[in-house]
Amino acid sequence: MAQQWHTEQVAIDVKIDPIEACYQNGWTDGLPVVPPTPERVEKMLSGTTRSRDELIAALPPKWGKATVERIAINAVMAGCLPEYLPVVLAAVEAMVDERFNLHGVQVTTSHVSPMVIVHGPIRKKLNINDGFNLFGQGWRANATIGRAVRLICTNIGGALPAELDRAAFGHVGKYTCCIAEIEGEENPWKPLHVERGFEPEDNTVTVFAGAGPKSINDHGSNTAEGILTTICQNMAASGNSRGETLLVIGIEHAETISGDGFRKSDIRKHIAETTNQYSEEDLLLMVAGGPAGRWSMLVQGWGSPSSRAISTELKD
């Protein structure tokens, strides 16, 4: 019989503000959290058919037991809706794949952090932003799903800043980072999850150990080679990681590049040959962002073979 992992309830003095109690117990990321009352946790668990005692994994570096219920508790604190829970669960399952190297991501002096990318019909159903300001504020799903993953890494995994989390600088994406890719007519290429072996209608999550995003500005080039030259100049900058890297191509850039007949494989080959620093298999490409503005975004990874992006399908 499978071992059952139960979560104990903590009694809070009625004289203490529950939010302040969360601070006192070290359960926050520095911002106020939603107190995870039993009623709120039960409501969160209604978002999945999985058993509350199911053990997803033990999370490094302290190897805390990440059960469905404990993940739900952190989703409550992050401000998630119950329907977001399957995405959070899938992100945790992706992070514990040994190729992602969560232990290393949690304790490295580098400033990478788990970044969640959502694909499939679920992104629209949950209103996960893939357009204007997708790396910024304003969308509950993006903000709270990414924050839940971060709280899980800290509260269950035990990666407390300046203790076991040894990031020399960190970045704001360590509070939360969850985005979606544009799929359909505005994306001239196959979306990332299809390139990684899934069907277009599959709901998937990709977790990537990403540093802070860097903007790439090219409002002058009207050819694919011109835009890719600008992209390569940014990617070849001294100090950039030489490993798995995510390039988020803006809509206007994608239109110009694809209009000149470039496929994703052509983009990878061009970048690899021009920079002489990246292998084609290390380049993750996706399309997102607002429809106006000739911008793209570069998200450096941790370096190869330190961590590899992992994609998984939602179970609920």
Q: Over its length of 316 residues, how does the chain's per-residue pLDDT go in tens digits?
A: 446 666 777 777 778 899 999 999 999 999 999 999 999 999 999 999 999 999 999 999 999 999 999 999 999 999 999 999 999 999 999 999 999 999 999 999 999 999 999 999 999 999 999 999 999 999 999 999 999 999 999 999 999 999 999 999 999 999 999 999 999 989 999 999 999 999 999 999 999 999 999 999 999 999 999 999 999 999 998 677 778 999 999 999 999 999 999 999 999 999 999 999 899 999 999 999 999 999 999 999 997 678 999 999 999 8
Reading the block at residue 310, the tokens are: 């992992």
Report the distance separating Cα 205 and Cα 192, nearest Å: 10
Report the distance separating Cα 106 and Cα 110, nearest Å: 10
DSSP summary character for residue 161: B
Number of H-type helices and E-type strands within the chain: 11, 10
Report the distance separating Cα 20 and Cα 16, nearest Å: 7
DSSP summary character for residue 45: H
With the C-alpha atoms ordered 62, 210, 302, 108, is the resulting torsion angle positive or negative?
A: negative
Decide which of 3.10.260, 3.30.2320, 3.80.30, 3.40.50 is the CATH code for 214-300: 3.30.2320
Domain range annotation of the chain = 1-181, 214-300
